[in-house]
Structure 1
Amino acid sequence: MSTKLHDYDYHLPEELIGQSPREPRDHARLMLVNRKDHTVEHKHFYDIIDYLHEGDILVRNSTKVIPARLFGHKETGGVLEVLLIKRIDLDTWECLLKPAKKLKLGQKLYIGTNKELIAELIEIKDDGNRVLKFSYEGSFEEVLDKLGSMPLPPYIVEKLKNKDRYQTVYAQKGESVAAPTAGLHFTEELLDRIEKKGIKIVDIFLEVGLGTFRPVQTEDVLEHKMHEENFEIPVEAANIINKAKEEGRRIISVGTTSTRALESSVDSNGKVIAQKNSTEIFIYPGYKFKVVDALITNFHLPKSTLLMLVSAFSTREFMLDVYRTAVEEKYHFFSFGDAMFIY
C-alpha cells in the first residue's frame, strides 16, 4: 500500500477531459472492471442493466445541485464572482469571492439587473472564505434559480447550455455545489427498466461540497485533511440495505459520494444506522469496505482522493492500469466524462 501522492498520478491528454455531457445521458461509454479477475470490457452505459442482478440494491445520492455561481457589482461598479459554499442560516452563506480582496467588511454587492439580490460582507474567515448576508424579496431559492448558474468544475471551460444537465434526473433536495456525477448517466427510462428487473433503488443524501475538487497538497497522503460534508441515511434506506446485507445481496453504490455516506454510517457490527450527520471519511488503499460491494463511478483526476477511493476498491496498480487503458481507448474523463462499473 502506497501513501505517496506521486504514486496516484497518471498522464491524461487534455482533449480527453469531457467538456459537455454525452447525449442522451445513457449513451456515455461504460468500462466494466472486474476487480477479482482484473479484466475490463467496453460497453455503453445503457448496457449496465445486463450486469445488475435481481435482488441487487442500487444506492444513489439524490442530492440537488443549486445554481451557486453569481456575479455582482459594487456601488463603484467593480464586478465580483460569488460562489455559495455552505448555508449558515436562512439568509447567510459561506462563500468564495473572486477577487476576494475587493470587498471590505460592511460593503455590499448588488446582483441582478434590478438588484434583486443584495449581499453584505459580514465576516472574513481564517481560511479566506467570506460570509455574506443576503437580502431579497420573496423566496431565496427562486431568486437564486433566476440569477445563478451551475458551479461547473474549473476544468470545464465550455458553457453549459442546459443547467439540468448538471443535475441527476432523480435529484430531490439539498444544497450541493457540485453534482454526484456518476448519477448523471441515468435516464428515467433506464431506471424504470432497472426496477422492473427486480433491482431495488434506494435514495440517500450527501451534500457535495467544493472540497471534492480540492487537490491533495501533501506528498504523504495521510497528512491530507478531508473536507466535511453533511449526509442523511433515511430509516427506510438503512432497513433495506441491512436486510440485503444479511441475505448476501449486493449493495451497488452510485458514485463516490454515496460510498462516502454509506461507509460513514456503519456501526461496529456492520449495520447501517439511519442518521443525519457529517463525515470527513478518507478512503484509500488498505481500507476495508463495510457496506459497498460494487461501484459505479466516473474517471477521476490524477492525484485525487477520489482516485485513491477507487484504488481502495481494488488495488492501486490495477486501477492505474485501468486508467491507462481508458486513455488508450479515448474515454472521456471527469464530471462530463464516461463511466466505469467496478464489481
Structure 2
Amino acid sequence: MTTNATNLADRLADNARSVEMFLADLLGDGLLDDEISRPATLLAAMRHAVLNGGKRLRPFLVLEGARLFGGNPQAALRVGAALELVHCYSLVHDDLPAMDDDDLRRGKPTVHIAFDEATAILAGDSLLTYAFDVVAAEETPLSASARVELLRMLARSSGIGGMAGGQALDLAAEREAPDEDGIVMLQAMKTGALIRFACEAGAVIAGASSEDRQRMRRYGETLGLAFQLADDLLDLTSDAATMGKATGKDAARGKGTLVSLHGADWAEARLSHLVAQAEDLMAPYGAAARILIETAHFVANRKS
C-alpha cells in the first residue's frame, strides 16, 4: 500500500481506507485453506465489530514505522490489519456486561447488543485467532523468521503480560483503587502494549537495527502513555455524542486515573512533556519522521 499524501490528516485517511478495504476482504465470505465454513451470524458479528470506521491508528503506526525504515508496505498492511483485529477483539470483549458493560461503540450498538453475548464472545475469539493467521500466512511477504518474531511480539503484547493482563488489573481496580504506579502499569498494559507493538513492528518488518527497534519501542511506549492520558481527560471533559461511547464511567465506578489524581491542568502539562519526549526520540531521523512527530501531537490533542 502506498500513498502520496504529505499531511497527517490525509495520510491517516488514506491509510484508514486501505486498511478498511483489506479488513473487508479478510472478513468476506470466501474460505481459506482448511476452513470448513464461515457461519453467517458469526461473520456478521465480526464485520460489525471491525468494519465501523475509526482512525485505524494502530495499523497506521505499523505502516508509518515500516515506511520510515523502507519496509515492505504490503507486509506492513497485513501486520497492521492483524493488529486491528486484535484491537477490535479486545473492544468486543471489554464491552460485555461482565466487563465494562457498554452499549455503544463508535456511535453504534456494541456487538453483544446488536447480536447477543454468546455471539460477541465467539466473535472476539475468532478475531483474535484470525490475527495470528494473517501474520503467519505465506501471503505476508516477510521471511519465516520475521513472521515468527512478529507473532511472538503480538502474542506477548496481547496476553497476560500485556493487554489482557491490563484488563484484569482494570477490573480489579473497581474493587481496590491502585496507587499511581499501579495506574501507570495498568495503562501501559491495557492500552500501551498494542501501541508499543505497532511502533516496533514497522521496524521489524523493515529489518531495522536493534537500536532503531528500541527507539521505536520507546516512542510507542511514550505514545501509549499520551493516548491513555488524553483518553482519561476526554472521559472527564467530553460527552457520548462526541466520543461515540459512554463517558464518565471511570469516575462513576470509582476507578482511579492519573487525571483524577492530579487534575486536568497537570494532565495537559504531562501531555506536552510526552509529546516533547516523542519528538526527541524521532529527532535522529530528521524530516523522514515528520509524520510520526505530528502523530504524537495528534494523539495528545485529539477530541474523540
TMscore range, shorter length: under 0.3
Of structures 1 and 2, the one with the larger relative CO (CA 8 A, separation 6+) is 1
Which structure shows the bigger proportion of residues in strand conformation?
Answer: 1
- Greater helix percent: which structure? 2
